[in-house]
């Protein structure tokens, strides 16, 4: 017996009801997440994550014919267990959301549990073939979760030190006399320190999310997707190194006062736009190669 329209919509209604109930249960963490997204540049993207996920799921359903299948409810145990563990850690942590130093840990535990329970609900309601086709939009919701403070600091330290190393060789390359002690650059006209703010973690995160979505929309090969997304690491390091190198050039050849100039304070955004160029070039090359492979396969059949 074919499924009726109401049968097809029933899982969507149940999902909407479940999300509404979960949102009420997690209302306090969600309110703090909203406040963090509005006050922190690093997490301003989280407001868009649900809308992007819904769009990607809708676009996948529009472009693909997904055959109906029975839900594999055993799969829902895994996100449910992960959410329960995160919720347990949340209650054990005693993190105070009003403390700026603890808000990330508070939200990392609570929002991850919230997302895991939504994913578990999806696995309960929809067939295995639907879940397989929509796995990227589903897992994309995990990006709602802020980093635990230790993870965020670790990422910052990684980009801070690798950018300092690349910038050191860049400064030497342009002929500026330099002596380095760790993250401190000593030059004839000025001493510079590669601070945590120089890590470019926000720009790198934006590039990572953009690359994820672009790889899903335009690429099919798993290894090409992996390579394309991983480009955010070297590009982030090179972008930071260029910014530090240009700033050192300005302070040595023009005026040390340029350490407080426009390029230092506002040059990150135009530089980020410039570094998108190689990303789009790689995407175009990968997309072109996949189209050629598809054409060759169609000719051989």
What's the whole-number mean pLDDT along residues 237-251? 90
- pLDDT over 70 for what percent of the chain? 93
Tell me the C-alpha distance between 84 and 41, whole Å.
30
Residues 123 and 213 in one domain: no
- Strand positions, DSSP E, 79-234: 179-181, 184-186, 191-193
Residues 77 and 160 in one domain: no
Query: Which of 96, 128, 146 lies at the terminal end of a domain, its last residue?
Result: 146
Residues 159 and 225 in one domain: yes
Token code pair at residue 168: 């050191």
Residues 228 and 99 in one domain: no
Residues 218 and 140 in one domain: no
- pTM of the predicted model, to two decimals? 0.87
Query: Which of 101, 121, 146 lies at the terminal end of a domain, its last residue?
Result: 146
pLDDT band at 1 (very low <50, low <70, confident <90, very high): very low
Please, are residues 178 and 248 in contact by the beta-carbon 8 Å criterion? Answer: yes
Residues 133 and 42 in one domain: yes
Residues 140 and 9 in one domain: yes
Residues 24 and 125 in one domain: yes
Residues 170 and 44 in one domain: no
Sheet hosting strand 184-186, strand order edge to edge:
179-181, 184-186, 191-193
Residues 168 and 264 in one domain: yes
**Least reliable range by pLDDT among 7-11, 17-21, 154-158, 248-252:** 7-11
The DSSP 8-state label assigned to residue 134 in this structure reads T
Residues 76 and 117 in one domain: yes
pLDDT band at 256 (very low <50, low <70, confident <90, very high): confident
Packing angle between helix 232-253 and helix 149-173, nearest 10 degrees? 50
What's the whole-number mean pLDDT along residues 81-103? 85
The count of domains in the chain is 2
What's the whole-number mean pLDDT along residues 115-122? 95
Query: Which of 146, 173, 193 lies at the terminal end of a domain, its last residue?
Result: 146
Q: Which DSSP helix (H) or strand (E) runs through 8?
A: helix 5-25
In tens, the pLDDT along 15-42 reads: 999 999 999 999 999 999 999 999 998 9
Q: Comparing C-alpha atoms, which of 161, 39, 160 is closest to residue 103?
A: 39
Residues 63 and 199 in one domain: no
Residue 2 has pLDDT above 60, yes or no: no
Residue 228: C-alpha distances to residues 63, 75, 238, 276 (Å): 23, 29, 16, 12
Domain range for 165: 151-300
């Amino acid at each position: 017996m074919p499924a009726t329209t109401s049968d097809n919509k029933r899982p969507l209604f149940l999902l909407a009801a479940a999300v509404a109930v979960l949102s009420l249960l997690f209302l306090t963490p969600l309110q703090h997440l909203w406040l963090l997204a509005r006050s922190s540049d690093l997490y301003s993207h989280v407001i868009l994550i649900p809308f992007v996920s819904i769009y990607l799921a809708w676009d996948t359903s529009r472009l693909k014919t997904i055959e109906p299948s029975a839900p594999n409810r055993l799969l829902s145990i895994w996100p449910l267990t992960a959410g329960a563990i995160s919720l347990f850690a949340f209650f054990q942590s005693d993190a105070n959301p009003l403390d700026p130093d603890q808000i990330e840990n508070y939200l990392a535990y609570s929002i991850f549990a919230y997302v895991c329970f939504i994913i578990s609900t999806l696995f309960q309601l929809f067939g295995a073939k639907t879940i397989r086709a929509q796995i990227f939009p589903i897992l994309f919701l995990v990006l709602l979760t802020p980093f635990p403070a230790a993870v965020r600091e670790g990422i910052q330290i990684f980009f801070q030190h690798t950018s300092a190393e690349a910038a050191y060789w860049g400064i030497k390359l342009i002929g500026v006399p330099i002596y380095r002690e760790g993250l401190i650059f000593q030059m004839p006209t000025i001493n510079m320190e590669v601070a945590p703010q120089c890590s470019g973690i926000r720009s790198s995160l934006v590039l990572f999310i953009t690359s994820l979505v672009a790889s899903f929309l335009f690429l099919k090969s798993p290894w090409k997707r992996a390579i394309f997304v991983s480009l955010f690491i070297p590009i982030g390091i090179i972008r930071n190194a260029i910014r530090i190198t240009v700033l050192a050039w300005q302070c040595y050849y023009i005026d040390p006062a340029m350490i407080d100039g426009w390029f230092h304070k506002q040059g990150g955004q135009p530089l980020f736009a410039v570094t998108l160029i190689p990303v789009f070039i790689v995407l175009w090359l990968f997309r072109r190669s996949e189209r050629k492979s598809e054409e060759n396969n169609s000719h051989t059949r």
